[in-house]
């Protein structure tokens, strides 16, 4: 039995080495209707300081005027993705990170068809406000000329983030890390250890933010095959996505993008959607190295190593066939040897008996 397992292990190793010498498989490709606004504002404001900024709102409709009401509301997070959960209720309680009490904002504006308007608004941080991160959202609600609501296609949101400098509590912990499968560019999906259907196209990690500042962790992931050869160097969080206070945030990155594929072929593309990274069947090791930290505070590093397997069905079927042939060959050879040994013994025995009788 030990000899049989040795044969099977040798067959698997031979198949993996043979596949690794084959050429990698070719990778396959893959605001609102009438309102234009800035989707995000970022500020660093010291305690006791007031900043005044502008909001530029454009009416993309060339026929009708746009009537908007503005208000500042709080938001949290929906899930592990970056989608905000807006607290739209008029009586919604303030969050600990709310900017609503600090913000002065115009309430109504009318924008003529096909034109733009610029509004001033201000944020004042109290003198005794502690260091940390604060954020809320400016909601633009479209309405009729007489105050009635119209199509929600003309509504929008600007997320506003404020960092108050000082000694802060930064605490992020790694929850999961590894290869990731997703059908919608990382919004939903799952981590995978063994993939038998298709090549993993993404690498991902989840970090829990237990501090009092939002964080934008970034770094890279090195992926190596079972022979130690580097097959990918993935930049993580290139869009500077944030992990909000109390959030366990999922960060996903393509192992290879359409942009990278076309660049290798000598072309230019802005498409960053994921494509097959050209992985061969076998075991892979991914090494994570990301950093986070607010300006003026200590930079923190998170490292981790994960493994995953890419074992397509055709590869597993090949292994089963090879194992079957090895087992058949083993027993066939064994039977032939046993038959040969028995035949030799029988003939020797007859010769001895004949001599003895003489």
Please state the φ and ψ torsions of residue 318, each to the nearest 5 degrees.
Answer: -65, -40
CB neighbour class for 246 (10 Å; exposed up to 12, middle 13-18, buried from 19): middle
Per-residue pLDDT of 82-132, as tens digits, reads 788 899 888 889 999 999 999 999 999 999 999 999 999 999 999 999 999
Residue 67: which of 6, 157, 154 has the closest Cα? 154
Per-residue pLDDT of 279-328, as tens digits, reads 999 999 999 999 998 876 789 999 999 999 999 988 888 888 999 899 89
Q: Which two tokens stand for residue 199?
A: 């090549």
Per-residue pLDDT of 180-190, as tens digits, reads 998 877 778 89
CATH numbers and ranges of domains, the chain: 35-164 (2.60.40.10), 169-314 (2.60.40)
Q: Are 234 and 254 in contact (CB under 8 A)?
A: yes
* SS3 labels along 324-337: HHHHHHHHHHHHHH
């Amino acid at each position: 039995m030990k000899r049989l397992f040795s044969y099977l292990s040798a067959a698997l190793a031979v198949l993996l080495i043979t596949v690794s010498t084959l050429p990698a498989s070719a990778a396959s490709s893959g605001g609102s209707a009438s309102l234009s606004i800035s989707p995000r504002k970022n500020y660093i404001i010291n305690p006791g300081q007031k900043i005044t900024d502008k909001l530029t709102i454009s009416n993309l409709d060339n026929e009708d005027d746009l009537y908007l009401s503005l208000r500042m509301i709080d938001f949290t997070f929906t899930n592990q993705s970056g989608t905000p959960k807006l607290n739209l209720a008029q009586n919604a309680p303030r969050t600990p990170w709310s900017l609503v009490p600090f913000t002065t904002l115009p309430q109504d504006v009318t924008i003529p068809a096909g034109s733009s308007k610029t509004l001033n608004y201000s944020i004042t941080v109290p003198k005794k406000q502690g260091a940390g991160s604060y954020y809320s959202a400016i909601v633009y609600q479209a309405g009729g000329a007489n105050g009635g609501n119209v199509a929600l296609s003309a509504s929008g949101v600007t997320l506003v983030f404020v960092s108050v400098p000082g000694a802060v509590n930064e605490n992020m912990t790694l929850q999961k890390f590894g290869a990731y499968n997703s059908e919608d560019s990382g919004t939903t999906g799952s981590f995978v250890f063994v993939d038998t259907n298709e090549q993993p196209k993404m690498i991902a990690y989840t970090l829990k933010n237990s501090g009092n500042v939002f964080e934008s962790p970034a770094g890279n992931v090195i992926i190596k095959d079972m022979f130690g050869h580097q097959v990918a160097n993935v930049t993580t969080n290139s869009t500077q996505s944030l992990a909000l206070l109390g959030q366990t945030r999922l960060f996903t990155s393509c192992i290879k993008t359409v942009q990278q594929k076309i660049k290798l072929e000598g072309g230019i593309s802005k498409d960053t959607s994921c494509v097959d990274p050209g992985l061969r069947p076998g075991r892979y090791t991914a090494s994570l190295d990301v950093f986070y930290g607010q300006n003026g505070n200590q930079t923190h590093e998170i490292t981790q190593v994960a493994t995953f397997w890419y074992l397509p069905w055709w590869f597993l079927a090949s292994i089963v066939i090879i194992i079957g042939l090895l087992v058949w060959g083993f027993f066939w050879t064994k039977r032939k040897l046993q038959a040969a040994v028995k035949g030799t013994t029988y003939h020797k025995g007859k010769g001895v008996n004949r001599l003895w009788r003489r």
